[in-house]
Structure 1
Amino acid sequence: MDLHAFRSALPDRFGGDFYSADLPDDAFEKIVADVDGMSTPHSLTLLNEAVRHLGPDEYYLEVGTYRGRSLIGAMLGHEHDRFVAIENFREFGFDPEIAQATVFDTLEKWGVRDRVRFLRGEAFTVLPRGVTPGPVGVYFYDGAHSRLAQYLGLAVAEEWLADEALVIVDDATWPQVASSTQSYIDAHPGYELLHDFRAEHDFDPLWCNGVKVYAWRRPQNWQRPDGFDVSWRRLAHIYGQEPVMNFAWRTLPKFPRVSAILKKAYLHGGTSVPEGRLDAE
């Protein structure tokens, strides 16, 4: 990943203002209008520019594809096939088979289906086995945002990152996402915050719930992040939190009061943008 070129080129994609409502390229507006999802034209522009600076053998990897909007935005105008997406379709109460078919139809409509390796499964069991033939130059995490999952979302991917890569975290203005991400980065060297695109309110039309962009450079004495801080979280998520939430997403729409209690326990605060976009770029 050419981090220097990315940093130099990114402002031009936004006309010099990351918070301008008018982007020079309206192609991403069309994706947003056509594909269900929460990614904004601003975040799609960011992902697309990141892909532009991949090395020749590097891959774009995203966790949390939902309906395919972010994936299509990242791929737009790039003709190679170095794209991998992971989604389990367990959240939001969707039938996984129907949801996957819908995504595939959308990718086909936009002419990109044959250039994506799409994996349906739990990221924290799939990723440790490796999912790309080459190093990951751009990693976009938009999977589960519980405190456990957010921490793991960085840990399980780090082994597969290129020696220099971009790590992009969605919903990053949510306090629990910000705090969990920072906790991981404080314990694992190699990350440099390049941009903190903060949302002004929930589902801000510019940056939705916020996006953070990190440069990753592998430290000289790097070790795979499989210490106790990662292992206990992985076990707790896979064998505790995930089965409970999988059951909840499938059954609780029938029981709104119980649903509210479990959602609070799962998210345990911090999934709303604080008032005002403080210290925004």
Structure 2
Amino acid sequence: MSGRALSFGAVAEAYERFRPGYPVELFDLVLAYAGQPIRTALEIGAGTGKATRLFARHGVLVTASEPDGAMLAELRKHVPAEVRTVQAAFEDLRPGERYGLVYAAAALHWTDPEGRWSRVAALLEPGGVFASFGGPIELADPAVQEAVRAARAPFLESDHVPSPDGTPPGPAMQWPGTELQRSELFADVRQSVVERRVTMTAHDYVGHLSTVSAYLLLPGSDREQVFSRILRVLPATVEVAADIIVHLARRRSGR
């Protein structure tokens, strides 16, 4: 697991405060795809439990795995008592119990591509569902977005995580759907979008940026400068487009 993947623990409280939660529409989408009640789920890279809460509050017995101890400690403050927690990277989970759902919320790109899908399949019941969801949080006003890009440019060309398999923006099927379609272990791959709009103060938007790995990896003095520059070009409140791109697939039976 890369240093970028493990950069979040130092800002666990900020991650909890500034990252938006997940709406009930996401749960409804996964449930409709499953076509039957989801009783058990394993979450990959649960962070502070934003997605954990969504599934647990709808009666799913969630096992939340997360490699970073600080993130897991923050998660335990916010999730129902029946949520199980495991401090482990996805690659260190050992197949044993199988689940009706395995999912990752803005975390799958941090996992090791080597053997990723065979590991997921081994954790799923035959016919079980895999879900991955997330997406960039973008300023809705193009002029404000451009002003922020210019303010950031001396320190950081881009703050996005690149597509792990190089799929460019635009094609109908994005990663990880592209990999799932190529895998013999999964079928019925689908991509959907749950629209999400959030209004926040300029300071809260910069607080969100403080949880983004690209900024976390900057030297501390550079990070302070870039946040100061961004704050100067932002209006008092901003609207962000935080659409959730959802990929769903079903484990083939008998494999």
TM-score (norm 1): 0.48
Residue 197 (structure 1) aligned with residue 193 (structure 2): yes
| 1:71 CA displacement | 0.7
Q: 5+ unaligned residues in a row in structure 2: which ranges?
A: 1-15, 137-160, 165-173, 198-239
Residue 70 (structure 1) aligned with residue 51 (structure 2): yes
Report the equivalent of 1:138: 101
Q: State the identity %.
A: 11
Per-residue Cα deviation, 1:53-73 (whole angstroms, up to 9, x for no partner): 346xx5211112111111111
Structure 2 CA distance, aligned partners of 1:212 and 1:144?
A: 11
Structure 1 CA distance, aligned partners of 2:129 and 2:194?
A: 18
Report the equivalent of 2:73: 101
| 1:188 CA displacement | 1.8
Structure 2 CA distance, aligned partners of 1:159 and 1:192?
A: 18
Change in Cα spacing, 1:71 to 1:51, as seen in structure 2 (3 Å) is farther
Aligned residues: 164
Relative CO higher for 1 or 2, CA cutoff 8 Å, sep ≥ 6?
2
| 1:179 CA displacement | 3.8
Change in Cα spacing, 1:38 to 1:145, as seen in structure 2 (3 Å) is farther
Structure 2 CA distance, aligned partners of 1:185 and 1:102?
A: 35
Instruction: Report the AA paired with residue 169 of structure 1.
Output: S
| 1:84 CA displacement | 0.8
Change in Cα spacing, 1:198 to 1:160, as seen in structure 2 (3 Å) is same
Report the equivalent of 1:37: 19
Residues 173-192 of structure 1 mapped to structure 2, 5 A cutoff = 176=163, 178-192=174-188
Greater fraction of residues in strand: 2
Structure 1 CA distance, aligned partners of 2:34 and 2:250?
A: 14
Change in Cα spacing, 1:179 to 1:47, as seen in structure 2 (3 Å) is closer
Secondary structure of 2:26's aligned partner: helix
TM-score (norm 2): 0.52
Residues 74-93 of structure 1 mapped to structure 2, 5 A cutoff = 74-78=55-59, 82-89=61-68
**Once superposed, what is the RMSD of the aligned Cα atoms?**
3.6
| 1:198 CA displacement | 6.9
| 1:211 CA displacement | 1.0
| 1:51 CA displacement | 8.3
Per-residue Cα deviation, 1:217-237 (whole angstroms, up to 9, x for no partner): 32x4x2xxxxxxxxxxxxxxx
Per-residue Cα deviation, 1:250-277 (whole angstroms, up to 9, x for no partner): xxxxxxxxxxxxxxxxxxxxxxxxxxxx
Greater fraction of residues in helix: 1
Report the equivalent of 2:90: 123
Instruction: Report the AA paired with residue 72 of structure 1.
Output: R
| 1:136 CA displacement | 1.2
Instruction: Report the AA paired with residue 66 of structure 2.
Output: E
Per-residue Cα deviation, 1:189-212 (whole angstroms, up to 9, x for no partner): 4311244227799x734x33x111
Structure 2 CA distance, aligned partners of 1:36 and 1:75?
A: 21
